[in-house]
Amino acid sequence: MGETSSQKLTGAPRISAYVKTLSAAPGVYRMFDEQGVLLYVGKAKNLKKRVQAYTKYDRHPVRIKRMIRATTSMEFVITKSETEALLLEASLIKKLKPRYNILLRDDKSFPYILMRTDHPAAQLMKHRGKRSKQGQYYGPFASAQAVNRTLDTLQRAFRLRTCSDSVYEGRSRPCMLHQIKRCAAPCTGEINLQEYANLNQEASDFLSGKSEILRTKLQNQMAEASQNLAFEKAAEIRDRLQAMAFVSSGKTNVTPTTFMEADIAAIHMEGGQACVQVFFFRAGQNWGSNAYFPRHSKDQEEADILDAFLAQFYLGKPIPKQTFVNQDLPNKALLETALSERKCGKFSVLKPLRGEKFHIVEMARKNASEALARKMAETASQKKLLQGLVDIFDLDNLPSRIEVYDNSHIQGTNSVGAFIVAGMDGFLKREYRTFNIKDVKTEPGDDYAMMREVMRRRFSRLMKDPELIWPDLVLIDGGKGQLSVVTEVLTELGVLKRTTLVAIAKGPDRNAGRESFHMNGRPEFTLPPRTPVLYYLQRLRDEAHRFAIGSHRAKRKKQMHQNPLDAISGIGPSRKKALLAYFGSAKAASQASAEDLARIEGVSKKLAKTIHEYFNE
């Protein structure tokens, strides 16, 4: 059931009207303001009782009172159980990012190590995304760096190949990795495939948690080699054992003895901000750690933040057997039930009070404390810069989202428009976007027309999608002309007042430090040289320029690898092959007459005329 139509009632009276029609079933509710913006997503074992609590306005803290006052409509979804409601709530929060919810940010898929088994000589490689390749997957690892570090040491320990199949097939002699004892070189027969398969099995045992059995086996082989005076072989085994020890301990130098598989999630809160440090332990080995900074209100408790974090964190991710935490979670039993159902196996959340597990959790908390201190220092510096923008451009508040636009082309070809995004957390690279210039009326090299198209497409999209975040400040790489074009587009769309426009023009002789700034309603102005805010604005502009040029180069490189014959209707692989075999190149074919083209087998006179007209309009 649901309702989104505008109503005269708002706040607690409006919520009270919904209570009359609600049942006592479990479910999820959503709260919206008068613009239809989602404020909050919540779950309930008893929807009627939970929503009714919002009608008792005076019992809530200031933050919730503000949310209640802003509420003009609500939507409800009935679920079969409270656990289903928990998972749906976490999914909606993660997708819709409501303002008043605790939100997990910087959430990315985790990388794995893949042992490919569809080749006689197994390949060791990094993998992220869908598991479409045949082989054994080990992970998740906390980051690409953790995978690279582990791959590097696995090479030293087991000497498995990391090269592609094409490189493998093309080798006539061992590569440098064999010379430095990081690959057994099955490609050239330095090791036979049976012995290489043994190395592969040892690596699989190690990554599967059988490291102690393997270690004992290698130690016995090293001792035997020493007794037989085969010191070179003994030294080789010693190096492999050292590499295995390095993989097991990881950066934290911790190898657990009381558990084999678990995640460690410890939270530290200070100054109204929180950091959750997550360690990944698999097969008795430390596979890296990550620091997360969830979005939340200052008055929320550590336990509530960690509880909401875990519900969102395990959406779409492998769930371990257990997670050790440093807080008593309010929804611990519900979380265990919900994630056990998703895992199709037992999952538990434990707060250790003593012993090895407690010390590892405490180590994670200290890491969270240090990461938060660094984050707060960076944020304080960033806040000063943003405050400088407020003062210079007469903004109402600190800009939470800054978009910087630039175009790139060479004599009008491969034209690309782009923008980058920055805010309190620095550059938000996942928010960067590019625009291929599509308007056929745009003259090659017409920067104004390119900017007009980019702005129209960007802000039309913002108007259509309420989930997208509007920029508080828009910076344009250009002068008064570019500012006029952008102002014209935003005026046509009726959104000029929703953001602040600033154009940054390069100084005389493109001299950095002498830039001039253009704003509507203000005369052109400059900033004192060598000031932090000017350097910050230069960094923003240069980042947009770098991104636009990089996108343009990628597009141009892709075009350079395309054959012009591919664009002609009626020419498939066989005809293209025949044309290239006859003329030697696409350029030579483009200069041929229709009669010459018609001489080629499979090319009719009509097709020959089409090809000739394509190149000779």
Taking the domains of the chain in order of start, what are their residue ranges? 11-96, 112-249, 262-373, 402-559, 564-615
Q: Can you list the pairs that 214-218 forms with residues at least 24 positions away whose Cβ atoms lie under 8 Å? A: 214/244, 215/241, 215/244
What are the structure tokens assigned to 567, written together?
A: 């664009």
Q: Are 512 and 526 in contact (CB under 8 A)?
A: no
Q: Which of 147, 175, 173 is nearest to 161 (CA)?
A: 175
Contacts of 573 (CB under 8 A, 6+ apart): none
Domain 564-615 classified CATH 3.40.50.300? no
Q: Integer distance in angstroms from the first to the last C-alpha of the chain?
A: 61
Q: Looking at residue 131, what is its pLDDT?
A: 78
CATH architecture of 402-559: 2-Layer Sandwich (3.30)
431, 417 contact by CB (below 8 A): no
pLDDT of residue 559: 57
Q: What angle do CA 173, 177, 181 make, to 5 degrees?
A: 105
User: How many CB atoms lie under 10 A from the CB of residue 271?
Assistant: 11
Helix (H, G, I), strand (E, B) or coil at 408: strand
Q: How far apart are CA 505 and CA 538, in angstroms?
A: 11
Q: Are the CB atoms for 62 and 4 separated by under 8 Å? A: no
Other CB atoms within a 10 A radius of the CB of residue 414 amount to 20
Q: Can you state the angle between helices 211-227 and 193-207, rounded to 10 degrees?
A: 130
Class of domain 262-373: alpha beta
**Do residues 275 and 268 lie in contact, with contact meaning Cβ atoms separated by under 8 Å?**
yes
Rounded CA separation 592/277 (Å): 67
Total-model pTM: 0.65
Domains 402-559 and 564-615 agree in fold: no
Give yes or no for a contact between 360 and 350, defined as CB atoms under 8 angstroms apart: no
Eight-class DSSP state of 392: H
Instruction: Residue 429: name the closest of 543, 555, 346, 562 by CA.
Output: 543
Q: CA 543 to CA 554: how far, in whole Å? A: 16
User: How high is the pLDDT of residue 557?
Assistant: 63
Closest CA to 126 of 117, 139, 118, 134: 139
Cβ–Cβ < 8 Å for 185, 204? no
Structure tokens at 356: 């090895």
> Which positions of the chain have pLDDT values less than 70?
1-8, 106-108, 209, 211-212, 243-255, 409-414, 439-445, 508-513, 552, 555-563, 567, 617
Break the chain down into helix, strand, coil percent, rounded to 5.
45, 20, 35
User: Can you give the pLDDT at residue 586?
Assistant: 76
pLDDT of amino acid 348: 94
Fold of 11-96: GIY-YIG endonuclease (3.40.1440)
Output the pLDDT for position 3.
Answer: 45
From the list 232, 275, 230, 236, the residue with the least C-alpha distance to 106 is 275
What DSSP state is assigned to residue 427? E
Quote the pLDDT of residue 405: 94
The SS3 of residue 317 is coil
